[in-house]
Amino acid sequence: MRRKRYTNLDDVQNMKSWDHFVRWQKARRTRGKDYSFVIPKETNVDLEFLKTNSTQTSVTWIGHATFLIQMGGLNIVTDPVWANRMGLHPRLAPPGLTISQLPRIDVVLISHSHYDHLHFYSIRRLKGNPLFLVPVGLGNKFLTRGFSKVEEFHWWGEKKLKDVLFSFVPAQHWSKRTPWDTNRSHWGGWIISSLREDQKIHFVGDSGYFSGFQEIGNSFEIDYVLMPIGAYDPEWFMGPQHVSPEEAVQAFLDLRAKKFIPMHYSTFRLADDTPLEALYRLQNEWKRRNLEKERLQILMFGETLKI
């Protein structure tokens, strides 16, 4: 029986040909980019709070798409990647927290199968015995590695744990870990909802700009959105799969979220944009649209936002 291949809304295709890739690599050799600027690291991490907190919602940025989210007495990690390098390039900055500094993890959320979002060596080192919530088609990769607490989700699927509701929502992306499994598992983002405090955090994962942001915004009253802003250059190549900083702001408005926390930049060199470029374009677009300064919350690595 043929295995299913998953698609985007409106059947938007993200895959590029080998000729596209060669064109990109040839062009990038002529572009000298400065990657020396990285987001600074929080020097006063309150590890005692993170270890003992069971009542207050908090968001701690570890790097790239990896966050520690505490909500409803649960310790949640998104897309856990503590890798020192990605492909040929070393990590631009160390993680905001080491794995040993984390509390015991209850839930791990996976957005899709790409290596910069799913790093099994990191997952094996997490404390506790977490439940893995993953896109449909990805569960078998966990089961074959000995992880038994795994549940798969289609878009709009939900899981309630204690007083927290996890909802898997659409994104515009693709998936691949080997030459043979392109789009054999799905991709998406997660809405993490505190039923007790009526708080909602949207972890977008990886996405190009698409109409689904409006649909998600119409379905949830989102307080904080963890939105990617990096890996967009060259836009002719990356556009369908990674929002530019300007598109990220439009997506934020489509979602009708209250506050924007940028992610997916300043950690790995995945494309030709630099961390400073991504941040500069985000802040310029924020000013151009006359959005309130306090709605944009730029975190340092290891910084904890207490909600």
For residue 176, is pLDDT > 50? Answer: yes
Asked, for residue 280, whether it belongs to a domain, the answer is yes
Q: How far apart are CA 56 and CA 54, in angstroms?
A: 6
Q: Average of pLDDT values for 277-284?
A: 97
Parent domain of 70: 46-306
Phi and psi at 194, nearest 5°, equal -85, 115
**Which has the closest alpha carbon to 227: 181, 174, 286, 183?**
286
Q: How far apart are CA 171 and CA 227, in angstroms?
A: 12
Q: Mind listing the pLDDT tens digit for each residue in 104-139?
A: 999 999 999 999 999 999 999 999 999 999 999 999
Written as six digits, the tokens of 154 are 């289609």
Q: Average of pLDDT values for 90-113?
A: 97
Please classify residue 215 by burial: count the beta carbons closer than 10 Å to its beta carbon, then call 0-12 exposed, 13-18 middle and 19+ buried: middle
Asked, for residue 24, whether it belongs to a domain, the answer is no
150: amino acid identity, one letter? V
Asked, for residue 30, whether it belongs to a domain, the answer is no
Asked, for residue 103, whether it belongs to a domain, the answer is yes
Q: At what angle do helices 275-288 and 245-255 cross, to 10 degrees?
A: 50
Name the residue with tokens 């489509």: 254
Asked, for residue 36, whether it belongs to a domain, the answer is no
Asked, for residue 98, whether it belongs to a domain, the answer is yes
Q: Average of pLDDT values for 209-231?
A: 97
Asked, for residue 233, whether it belongs to a domain, the answer is yes
- CATH number for the domain that contains residue 184: 3.60.15.10
Whole-prediction pTM: 0.95
Written as six digits, the tokens of 176 are 């691949």
Asked, for residue 104, whether it belongs to a domain, the answer is yes
How many domains does the chain fold into?
Answer: 1
For position 1, what pLDDT does the model report?
44
